[in-house]
Amino acid sequence: MLRTLFAPLFLLLLSHDSLQAQTAAAEETKPLEKNIAYLEVGGIAHLYSLNYQRNIRLSQKVDLGAGILLSPAFYPSAIFPSRPGQERLRFSPRAALQAQAIYKMDRHEIGLGASWGYYTWYFPETFRQTYRREAQYQEIRSFAMGQLGYSYTMKNGLYLGAYYTPAIMDSGDFWFQNWGGLRIGYRF
């Protein structure tokens, strides 16, 4: 009699533990959110940029990401030293589109992609006088850059990344420059 009472109770306890383990495993493998908004220091805009990226899930391990970046790019004189009488900031607005393939391993991601965009330079009056430039704005130029990097998303949605972003082309001419950037943002 005791054995017939304890056997179902023992099986119920075993199945309860199994269900708890399955629930915990499902919470751990919950897919990451598809949208990312982040600030990139260095990187594609060369100084800093605000970025938005949307990921499209192809499989459990692979995403395609598409995004846009905007950067007002005020360059302080520490980066481009000023001559006496020049303004302390240079202005080079930038906008670019990005595309990348992303391989996911839980909260870790490796991305490989490219970006293509436009930029221009604004020259303040004193800069134009010093360098005898007539145009206040330079012509609009295009650029292309590669992307190879690593990112990690914390459980609270905080997004961190480090990317190698070499310049490949500037205004239609092949031009190579090693470059990189750090990303911090939020997944939603």
Q: What is the pLDDT of residue 57?
A: 95
Same domain? For 11 and 78 the reply is no
Write down the pLDDT at residue 95.
95
Taking only the tens place, the pLDDT of each residue in 160-187 is: 999 999 999 887 788 889 999 999 999 9
Domain check: are 74 and 112 in the same one? yes
pLDDT recorded at residue 100: 97
> Rounded to whole angstroms, how far apart are CA atoms 33 and 17?
29
25/54 same-domain check: no
Let me know whether 21 and 36 are in one domain. no
The tokens for 28 are 């751990």
Domain holding 88, by residue range, is 32-187
Which stretches of the chain score pLDDT less than 70? 1-30, 75-90, 123-137
Count of structural domains within the chain: 2
Task: Measure the CA angle with vertex 135, ends 132 and 139; round to 5°.
Answer: 125
Which tokens belong to 172?
């239609």
Buried b (16+ CB within 10 A) or exposed e, 92-102: bbbebebebeb
- Domain CATH number, residue 53: 2.40.160.20
CA dist 26 and 158 (Å) reads 21
Same domain as 151, residue 71: yes
Q: Are 12 and 82 members of one domain? A: no
| Nearest CA among 30, 126, 135 for reference residue 82 | 126
Give the DSSP per-residue string, 119-174.
E--B--HHHHHHHT---SBPPPEEEEEEEEEEEEE-TTSEEEEEEE--EEEETTEE
Q: Residues of 119-145 as b/e, b for ≥16 C-beta within 10 angstroms? A: bebbbbeebeeeeeeeeeeeeeeebbb
**What pairing do the DSSP bridges indicate for beta strands 180-187 and 94-105?**
unpaired
Amino acid at position 128, single letter: R
Asked whether residue 76 falls in the same domain as residue 114, the answer is: yes
Q: Are residues 104 and 20 in the same domain?
A: no
Planar angle of CA 185, 90, 179, nearest 5 degrees: 50
10 and 45 co-located in one domain: no
